[in-house]
Structure 1
Amino acid sequence: MTTQRWILAFCLSLASVFGTVELFKTKEIQTYTCRTFGSGIVQPFKGKSYYVRSDCPFKLTSFNVNRGEYSVTIRRGHNGLLVQVEIIINKVTTLLRNGHILVQNKSVSLPYDHTYQHIFKYGIYTRLRSSLLPFTVTWHNVHGGINSLWVTLESELCTDMCGLCGKQNVAGHRDELIRDSKLHDHRCKIRDPVLRKNHICRRFFLKTKNCLQDNNSHYHRLCKENICGLSIKVGHNLCVHAQNNCCQEKTSETKMLSAICYHPITNRREEKTLTYKHIASCECRLCNTQH
């Protein structure tokens, strides 16, 4: 996967994440979502997203409800993708690794039903849903690992909650969350974010000024940090879909963005056009593979 495709995929993910928590809030049910994608972007339950460049294991989120433990632990590889995810629901451990799903160390096929959880295909994603609590974990597999994962909780955040996704009533400072969420492993490293000028990041976020407004510069910075942690050797197809909304209820205007793409077989450089619509259920596609 080329660096440019990674950047565009990341930009679309940022656009889809913007305002996600507020979007799903209702008077009856509070729904909180924490996402991690790219090479280390984390969008916590509350507060602004931030970047973690590391191959260390981290607690993404952890809390207890009715004496039952809920936790999600993640680890990224050198290619920037998630190479291992551990999900614990009431002492039942589910491990995602090398494209396989293991429950209590036994490989399972989908759909999988258990007393405490259900695992099933959810469109192009895979979802684990707890039967004890309105708690789900959803992820997207690509060659080399998992490029996007999010945790959704349809209830108030727990008082003992911890991890990269944040605490109950505190957004948390980036450095504090990273320090407190890291699991012990003397072989791994946490690297300082690196900012590198990139024309694709710049061109994309020039188009989103009106949509993202005051958050535009923040996401532009994340884009430049994110690309420095990605390996250009990770393979993926040329089509990337936004997971949710490009710019929720901002405008119905169709925007256009030129993108440089590469043919998956000949690797020949080709000029393509990225089209995205700012509508509630928009789909963002870039670099159409049909020739």
Structure 2
Amino acid sequence: MRTPIPRIAAVHDLSGYGRASLTVAIPVLSSMGMQVCPLPTAVLSSQTASIDDFSFFDLTAQMQEIVGKWENLGLYFDAVYSGFLGSPEQVDIVERLMQKLGKKNSLFLVDPVLGDDGKLYPTQTEELVQRMRRLAGKADIITPNYTEVCFLLDTPYEETVTFKQAKEYLKALSALGDKKNKNKSVIITSAPCEEDSIRVFAYDAESKRFWQTKSPKIPAAYPGTGDTFASVFLGALLQKDSLPMAMARSARFVYEAMLTTYGYGTPYIDGIMLEKVLPLLSRNEKFLFEDF
């Protein structure tokens, strides 16, 4: 079954309230001209940041059946994009999805959703961290935040990161996996380097170059910004942006979405006001990045 539109298998949870995971990935990628085929990993009553009372329904068994039906349909995907996983067993399902339904040149992007602010999310476990390391080792590109970098590399969480540390982390993350799967490209989002700015770092495994872009700090934090960044980033790559351009484009979009939301003063747990800023994805302008 062929299509002139890039087709993406989006393996994320579905949160009923709060803009995160599939409720971010689907509108972002669709607005960028992609067909999104969701494979829900879990259904939650809400996103979990600053919310203690939420329901969580694990869909591991249903995922197995859905992937089997996709195989029967003869579907193939231009990209497999995984985010929040609800159980360690889901790592095997994501790997099967890529092996069975990925094309020869399909892109495998893993956003290793594990935690933030130095802590695991409530539903994540040490076993899932270990399995996520394996999955990250098989990806073409990974997009962890700084907390997830520390969990993937089993290194202490610190309040600030130097450029030297950032390069060491990028190279170590690129080398995850066996010899066959090494040399992946890596993005580190939300790296705390300066008091007044947030940096995003990138390592291009093919050219062995390091890139960065920075945005002013906004005195607010919103759930779902990592999902937003990774979704814009994947869409930009499938639109043939270079890796540093896709990085800078994604960081700029997240910054403007956060700034817009902050201006309205909406509750933090709502997430970013995606509906207000989606048109910004169609702008034709230059995005700033530099070597470091």
Q: TM-score range, shorter-chain basis?
A: under 0.3
TM-score using structure 2 length: 0.27
Larger Rg, first or second structure (1 or 2): 1
Which has the larger share of helix? 2
Higher relative contact order (CA 8 A, sep 6+): 1
